[in-house]
């Protein structure tokens, strides 16, 4: 069973990997986020601080997919087409510096929906001409401590420009805090994608509800 893309899934989009929750059980973190009502989950496990081995990654990914599906939430894999296909993910998310987007679209067409990171007008304009992309991820909105090689901060004004130019739904990402959620939606963005707002939340239910209701 696959969960098809729909724009409402971008409202409360949780991105996480083992590197984001050191000393914690990623599966338990995702379970709690699902119980709180996240609308999409992206497994983004990478970098020197990942706590998973290459052998563990697909095992955990399958567990996370099952949990997501039990909650009718799409399971998206970041950057790794092979993993995404192997674990029958619903979607793949690709960055500008990841595997070539056109190649990914060809590899996954009819199997997985596709998200693509676009951080400036040139990237949006180029992406608009490519068929087979379902949504864009745009940011960072503010300084983020969760991605060392993040693009320059675009702010709300930058997000507004990208949303206006985009021919597909845009989910905002990067450095987002709860006080920005309403302003982000006012740009026309379909929602917010976050790591730390959820992993650091002291009131998970309230945080996720704020994302959904923004
Ligand atoms: N892509 C652009 S910024 C970012 C990613 C994965 C990190 C988002 O994490 P946080 O903690 O919500 O700023
Ligand atoms: Mg990437």
Beta bridge partners of 194: 14
CATH number, domain of 32, equals 3.20.20.70
Please report the pLDDT score of residue 46 as a whole number: 95
Supply the pTM of this predicted model: 0.98
Q: Is the dihedral of CA 160, 161, 167, 170 positive or negative?
A: negative
Beta bridge partners of 41: 14, 75
Full domain range(s) for residue 75: 7-213
**DSSP code at position 4:** P
Identify whether 21 is part of a domain. Answer: yes
Give the integer Cα–Cα distance in Å for 32 and 47: 24
Please report the pLDDT score of residue 56 as a whole number: 97
Q: Specify the number of domains making up the chain.
A: 1
Please report the pLDDT score of residue 96 as a whole number: 95
Tell me what ipTM this predicted complex has: 0.95
Q: Which two tokens stand for residue 19?
A: 């590197």
Please report the pLDDT score of residue 128 as a whole number: 98
Identify whether 191 is part of a domain. Answer: yes
Identify whether 69 is part of a domain. Answer: yes
Please report the pLDDT score of residue 98 as a whole number: 74
Give how far Cα 25 sits from Cα of 4, 11, 32, 139, 203, Å. 28, 25, 11, 28, 18
With tokens 């991105």, the residue in question is: 15
Please report the pLDDT score of residue 97 as a whole number: 82
Cβ–ligand 1 distance for 140 under 6 Å, the answer: yes
Please report the pLDDT score of residue 99 as a whole number: 73
- For residue 167, how far is the Cα from the chain centroid? 19
Identify whether 75 is part of a domain. Answer: yes
Please report the pLDDT score of residue 209 as a whole number: 98
Identify whether 1 is part of a domain. Answer: no
Mean pLDDT of residues grouped by 10 in the chain (214 residues)? 97 98 97 98 96 97 98 98 98 90 95 98 97 98 95 97 98 98 98 98 98 96
Residue from 119, 138, 147, 201 carrying the catalytic annotation: 147
Cβ–ligand 1 distance for 17 under 6 Å, the answer: no
Please report the pLDDT score of residue 152 as a whole number: 95
Dihedrals phi, psi of 13, to nearest 5 degrees: -100, 115
Identify whether 2 is part of a domain. Answer: no
Give the integer Cα–Cα distance in Å for 177 and 192: 10
What's the CA-to-centroid distance between 43 and ligand 1, angstroms?
13
Torsion angle, alpha carbons of 158, 160, 161, 165, to 10: 140
Give the integer Cα–Cα distance in Å for 15 and 153: 19
Please report the pLDDT score of residue 72 as a whole number: 98
Confirm whether 65 is a catalytic residue: no
How many helices (DSSP H) and strands (DSSP E) are in the chain?
Answer: 9, 8
Please report the pLDDT score of residue 127 as a whole number: 97
Q: What is the DSSP string of 113-150?
A: EEEEE--SHHHHHHHHTSTT--EEEE--SS--SS-TTP
Cβ–ligand 1 distance for 141 under 6 Å, the answer: no
């Amino acid at each position: 069973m696959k969960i098809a893309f729909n724009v409402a899934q971008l409202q409360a989009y949780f991105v996480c990997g083992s590197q984001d929750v050191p000393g914690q059980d990623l599966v338990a973190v995702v379970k709690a986020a699902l119980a709180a009502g996240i609308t999409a989950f992206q497994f983004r496990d990478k970098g020197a601080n990942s706590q998973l081995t290459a052998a563990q990654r697909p095992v955990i990914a399958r567990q996370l997919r099952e949990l997501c599906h039990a909650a009718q939430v799409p399971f998206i894999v970041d950057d790794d087409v092979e993993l995404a296909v192997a674990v029958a993910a619903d979607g793949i998310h690709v960055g500008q510096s990841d595997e070539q987007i056109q190649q990914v679209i060809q590899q996954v067409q009819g199997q997985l929906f596709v998200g693509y990171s676009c951080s400036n007008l040139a990237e949006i304009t180029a992406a608009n001409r490519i068929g087979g992309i379902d949504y864009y991820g745009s940011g960072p909105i503010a300084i983020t401590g969760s991605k060392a090689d993040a693009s320059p901060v675009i702010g709300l004004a930058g997000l507004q420009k990208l949303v206006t130019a985009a021919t597909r739904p845009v989910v905002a990402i990067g450095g987002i805090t709860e006080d920005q959620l309403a302003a982000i939606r006012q740009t026309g963005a379909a929602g917010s994608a976050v790591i730390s707002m959820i992993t650091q939340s002291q009131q998970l239910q309230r945080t996720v509800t704020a994302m959904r209701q923004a």
